[in-house]
Chains A and B, each alone.
Chain A
């Protein structure tokens, strides 16, 4: 089935053809953050199992999670969590059939992105101030 030359028929345009819009970007981010959270649950299981296993394993995990790289991953995990949550709230609105007009959906897209960043910032400000 391998084709060597260019297609001799018109092909439907794909992602790179379109100018990115906020609805498109947030839709893609919803899927990417969802997949990231799927694997991100490993962070939670490892933490809980280490805590249940005893002092030594807990100290090891805490040292890794508390390192600069660990914190960076946890920061990303926090944003993925809130981005997917805000995207989910947007889907609840759409599930009712509301909010699909051009103006509203653009606003909802920006609200999703900005809301997720604000919640991430809030969580980390609380962490650093405690």
Chain B
């Protein structure tokens, strides 16, 4: 498919999904995770308030409870996805050097995945092994 907009057919332009090559995917996923984040954030704050004055055994019991563990896993997954999309927009807005932008976008992805997976691993370990 030609990258020249002057000779591209309307169909080719549609298939090309615009300059970002991803169409509305970014926008939509950002909204879907934002919607999910509203109830999950409220659940997260409630769980944190329950944890606030708990000792070690109490904290293990709270995080290890299936309902809390599942809510925390959902929150971490949705939040990590949402924050990766949001930080991507910030980077694209302010970093104009192509090389630096590429590096920062990669670090952004690495950070979000690390945060998400490390949290998920810890929650699962607490749930399964105590």
Interface residues, chain A, with chain B CB atoms under 8 Å away: 31, 34-35, 37-38, 41-42, 44-45, 48-49, 51-52, 55, 58-59, 78, 81, 85, 88-89, 91-92, 95, 123, 126-127, 130
Contacts and interface: CB of A to CB of B under 8 A. Distances in A.
Q: How large is the interface on B (under 10, 10 to 19, 20 to 34, 35 or more residues)?
A: 20 to 34
In this complex, which of A45, A55, A59, A89 has the most chain B Cβ atoms within 10 angstroms of its Cβ? A45
Given A38-B83, A92-B34, A127-B49, A45 B115 contact: yes
Q: Which 8 A-B pairs have the closest CB atoms?
A: A48-B122, A52-B122, A52-B125, A38-B83, A49-B122, A41-B115, A34-B86, A55-B56
B31 A95 contact: yes
For chain B, what secondary structure do more than half of its interface residues adopt (helix, strand, loop), or is it mixed?
A: helix
Contacts of B109: none
A77 B27 CA distance: 25
15 contacts: A34-B86, A35-B86, A37-B79, A37-B83, A38-B87, A48-B63, A48-B122, A48-B123, A58-B56, A58-B59, A85-B38, A88-B37, A92-B34, A123-B45, A127-B52
A59 B63 CA distance: 16
Nearest to B62: A51
Contacts of A78: 45
B90 interface: yes
